[in-house]
Amino acid sequence: MKRSLATAALLTAWVVTAAAGLVPAQATPAPASSSGDAFYTPPAGYESAAPGTILKSRETQASLFSLVPQRAQAWQLLYRTTDQLGNPEATVSTVLLPAGATPDPKRPLVSYQYATDSADPDCAPSRTITAGNPITTIAGQAEILLVNALLVKGYAVSIPDYEGPNAAFGATRQAGQAVLDGIRAAEGFTPLGLGGKQTPVGMFGYSGGAVATNGAAEAQPAYAPELTIRGSAAGGSLGNDFPGVITNFNGGPFASLAASAIAGLSEAYPAITDVLLQYANDKGKKAIESLKHMCVTEAALNFLFANIDTFTTVPLAQLLALPEVKQVIADDSPGQHTPAAPMYLYHGVFDEVLPIKGVDSMVQNFCANGATITYNRDLLAEHGIALLTGVGGALSWLDDRLDGQAPNPGCHTSTVLSDIFQPGTAEAFGSRLIYANFLSLLGLPVGPAGLYGPPANATS
């Protein structure tokens, strides 16, 4: 089945790839943004601050497809977090409140993870959510549609730049920690008026955003046990079948994801650069550098059907068999720690980007270790279709968790004809997605007005 380049760019996913051994802990360099914005540079001595500490803040203006200003309250927070190897670093989150919202310690917070899928720092959500961005950032711009569906319900929203200041695309642990520290920062940001550690929190993401969401769910019990995580919803996830995923990408329409992950992981694991350059030919070296300046759409166009074997001096299979590559795969692969909070996972049985086999295995491992999971396998969906058909059930499930309803205990795996028939799908597309973005397009306040009652504090 053919896929347009636009679909390939918008519905991309994450993958870990060739790497090298770990390096001793040291403070991660925190350069200014390549766009020259000094806001992204942390103050001297930030390393000694606790994870989640706000280092800087400023008001910002979110926009719909980089054109229409959003009438919702928005700020950007520079906060201290922790990188893949345990070193201090600083990253940015964009936090939003519905239009007309006032402080409410009972207001839920949803951390929404964009599918950034790029090794370019200028493709981070905090940059693509504002006005005036080029068409190459269209994939990131589109995710504001789901953010609006959260705002119209009355939720506060945190959107973290979870790849960090150097765009370490593919670094699962770093991504999860950045999500959790973004939640900490949001809870401590006075203008949001949340309830601190008692704030009911949900997490949500699809594809690349699911990787960060699941990473946060895995990391939370040990890294941020004080947070009140009511549940996480994720679709189109990366499972624990790395060899199958990388082989699936190579030479296909999503080959850019493998190439971008190589570039991103060279930032997460400094020793990778030397190892990659040892096996990369001149073409490969140039590709790694160029990918650090491309968002997902541009990378998809430039590396369509690319074969890694043409960028290296040895075949992909030989690279994957290197001991140092196996070490990083083992260190970075999802599914190693059991989430404590309930999870809602959904995946297309015929997902051509991230095959379902690895997700099935990851869920089985989680369930064997006592996780609470609702897992829907969609028979009629591939990656793009599942994005659309699964969002309703995910939003409805999150609503119930944030409303204080307990999920069914244990694990429940269902193979369904289509997730489009899940409870909440009609509301998600009608009175949530369409309604919220109709308000946004017309320049009207985006918040819980009309169908959702008074705009100040309603959340149900």
Locate the domains of the chain by residue range.
5-241+332-337
Q: Which residues pair with 112 in a beta bridge?
A: 204
Q: Which helix (H) or strand (E) holds 80?
A: strand 73-82
Q: Which of 104, 120, 181, 351 is catalytic?
A: 351
The whole-number pLDDT of residue 424 equals: 80
Those residues whose C-beta lies under 8 Å from the C-beta of residue 297, and which sit 6 or more positions away, are 6, 9, 10, 135, 136, 137, 138, 139
> Is 241 in the active site?
no
Biggest distance spanned by C-alpha atoms of the chain: 63
Question: Cα–Cα distance between 354 and 350 in angstroms, integer?
Answer: 9
> Is 412 in the active site?
no
Q: Of the given ranges (159-163, 241-245, 254-258), which has the lowest mean pLDDT? A: 241-245
DSSP letters, 18-44, are ---------PPP-PPPTT--GGGSPPT
The pairing of beta strand 88-97 with beta strand 68-69: unpaired
> Is 361 in the active site?
no
If one compares 430 and 94, the residue with the highest pLDDT of the two is: 94
Q: How many CB atoms lie within 10 A of CB 96?
A: 29
Q: Which of 111, 383, 419, 440 is catalytic?
A: 383
Quick one: how far is CA 56 from the chain centroid? Answer: 22
Q: What is the mean pLDDT of the chain?
A: 88
On whether the 5-241+332-337 domain is CATH 1.10.3720.10, my answer is no
Q: Which residue has the tokens 């397009």?
A: 441
What is the average per-residue pLDDT within 86-111? 97
The whole-number pLDDT of residue 449 equals: 65
The whole-number pLDDT of residue 65 equals: 85
Question: Cα–Cα distance between 104 and 194 in angstroms, integer?
Answer: 6
**Over the stretch 187-216, which tens digit does the pLDDT of each residue have?**
999 999 999 999 999 999 999 999 999 999
How many CA atoms lie less than 13 Å away from 305 in the CB half-sphere? 4
Tell me the pTM.
0.90
**Over the stretch 166-190, which tens digit does the pLDDT of each residue have?**
999 999 999 999 999 999 999 999 9
The whole-number pLDDT of residue 35 equals: 65
